[in-house]
Amino acid sequence: MKLLRYAGLCLILIGAGCASRPEPAAISKAAGPEAAMTAQQEVLEEAHRNHVDVLSPVAFKEASKFMEKAKKQKDDKDIYESLGMSKAYLLEAQAETNARSLDLRDVVDARNEAITAGADFEALDSTDNDLMKFTKDSDDYKEMKTADKNKIAAKYLKVELAAIKTSKLAEIKSTLDVAKSKGANTLVPKTYRTAMMRFRAAEKAIETDRHSQNYYQPAVNAAAASANRTLSLVETAVATQNQTPEQRALTLDARNKALREADEMNTEVTEASLQKDEALAAQGASLSAMSDERNELKMKEMQDKAVADAAAKFDSSEAEVYRQGQNLVIRLKQVNFASGRSELPAQSMPVLGKVKSVLQDLNPQAVMIQGHTDAVGSATKNQRLSEQRAAAVAKYFESDSALSRNQFDTAGFGFSKPLTSNKTREGRAQNRRVDIVITPASQL
């Protein structure tokens, strides 16, 4: 489809060229070509640090390409021309990045956390590719939903957590692997199990609050001390297997002396770490509660944003948007069913189209469509009518291929839940309504 659109554009622009190539930007020549290249390179590197390479990858790639071209050229005129093109494309990339930064704030923040933590290149590159599937093309970017953004941000945070674990625990893991390869699980099994338990406790502490080194460092220190002791014991066990009793005693005496000296050098760290083992266990429940509270607060912020974004699509005469527990409710005011009828009137299509847009943004876990009537007629008739009205709205949404993967449930309430009195024509019209109850995706 994109290829057809591009081909059509080319037919229109024959003679002018298909690619949107900017005019070269002005480059200062006062200090010479070398200084100009250095200045442009610094600007590119700064843009890279500001995530321009992933938020506007096409224009940034062109800017980098012309920068490399400038480095290979000999003639000053050609150098300045390539630098001008590099600058022009970079200005385009920066403008596009500025336009997208607020919308992708959570994604950018998570990516920055991953980079700061020293993320593995392959893991970071994989997540960057997920993001650039949307940012490489403006049409794809327009189709990017809240669930897509949350999924990519979560993947960056997972990369960050892995980087922190590697930074803090890789050496300990290596020590334990060496000890295991020398037979620790059979020669010193109790000590080895204790070391593994403390290693897992350190992992858990990092997972609980990765950004608080004061919290997880004691567990890391305890795991390191336990791993080193395990390796020392297993090496001693191996060394003394074929010794005489006297040789074994001398070896053990030398080992004990070395351990005492090591303990004296590391008393402050080691003892503090070991003493905090029990404290860590006691704090676990409290910190878990704190973490849950932070997660709940973050969830509330995201839910409030979802309500605000949805409400912004409607004016007050079209719908009322509010939160009901974990759900988002859109109370439609302009469906305007005729009395006793369930067919969707033509004038309701614009507001229903806006509801479609909200559903595409949220990619919800579930959608309940609730039909309501006025009090004209019998309870049985109005109950059936309310169910038919809900079904009519559901059918309208299900006919859109972009929403086909959503599950639409319906319910009718007859005239049991009026918003206002049924004694006036205006009141009865207001009570003939449809409420859309949206359960957001679990990532929201």
Instruction: Evaluate whether residue 224 is within a structural domain.
Output: yes
Query: Lowest mean pLDDT: which of 129-143, 289-303, 350-364?
Result: 289-303
Q: Taking 50 as the threshold, does the pLDDT of residue 15 lie above it?
A: no
What DSSP state is assigned to residue 144? Answer: -
Token pair of 220 as six digits: 């890391």
User: Which pLDDT tens digit goes with each residue over 371-403?
Assistant: 888 888 888 888 888 898 888 888 888 887 777
- DSSP for 361-391? HH--SEEEEEE---SSS-HHHHHHHHHHHHH
pLDDT of residue 165: 92
Looking at 229, 264, 294, the residue that finishes a domain is: 294
Residue 97 contacts residue 122 (beta carbons within 8 Å): no
User: In which domain, by residue range, is 255 found?
Assistant: 182-294
Q: What is the mean pLDDT of the chain?
A: 81
Residues 47, 79: one domain? yes
pLDDT of residue 319: 83
C-alpha 28/C-alpha 25 separation (Å) is 10
Q: Taking 60 as the threshold, does the pLDDT of residue 367 lie above it?
A: yes
Instruction: Evaluate whether residue 303 is within a structural domain.
Output: no
Instruction: Give the chain's domain count.
Output: 3
pLDDT of residue 300: 67
Higher pLDDT, 193 or 1: 193
pLDDT-based confidence at residue 299 (cuts at 50, 70, 90): low
Instruction: Evaluate whether residue 176 is within a structural domain.
Output: no
Instruction: Give how far the C-alpha of residue 33 lies from the chain's centroid of Cα atoms, to the nearest Å.
Output: 42
Q: Taking 50 as the threshold, does the pLDDT of residue 98 lie above it?
A: yes
Read off φ and ψ for residue 56, nearest 5 degrees: -140, 65
pLDDT of residue 253: 61
Give the residue from 414, 430, 330 showing the smallest Cα distance to 375.
414
Residues 71, 24: one domain? yes
Residues 344, 289: one domain? no
Most confident by average pLDDT, 174-188, 232-246, 248-262: 174-188
Instruction: Evaluate whether residue 306 is within a structural domain.
Output: no
Task: Show Cβ contacts of residue 401 under 8 Å, excluding neighbours closer than 6 positions.
Answer: none
Q: Taking 80 as the threshold, does the pLDDT of residue 281 lie above it?
A: no
Instruction: Evaluate whether residue 63 is within a structural domain.
Output: yes
Residues 355, 400: one domain? yes
Residues 329, 263: one domain? no
List, in sequence order, the alpha helices (H) in 209-332.
213-239, 245-265, 267-311
* pTM, 2 dp: 0.54
Looking at 242, 259, 294, the residue that finishes a domain is: 294
pLDDT-based confidence at residue 129 (cuts at 50, 70, 90): very high
Instruction: Evaluate whether residue 155 is within a structural domain.
Output: no
Q: Can you tell me the mean pLDDT for 128-153?
A: 93
pLDDT of residue 382: 87
Instruction: Evaluate whether residue 90 is within a structural domain.
Output: yes
Q: Taking 60 as the threshold, does the pLDDT of residue 291 lie above it?
A: no
Q: Can you tell me the mean pLDDT for 105-122?
A: 91
Looking at 138, 167, 193, the residue that finishes a domain is: 138
Residues 41, 120: one domain? yes
What DSSP state is assigned to residue 346? Answer: G
Token pair of 373 as six digits: 């009537």
What DSSP state is assigned to residue 322? Answer: E
Q: Can you tell me the mean pLDDT for 340-353?
A: 83
Token pair of 162 as six digits: 């892995």
Instruction: Evaluate whether residue 412 is within a structural domain.
Output: yes
pLDDT of residue 10: 39
Dihedral angle sign, alpha carbons of residues 359, 362, 363, 366: negative
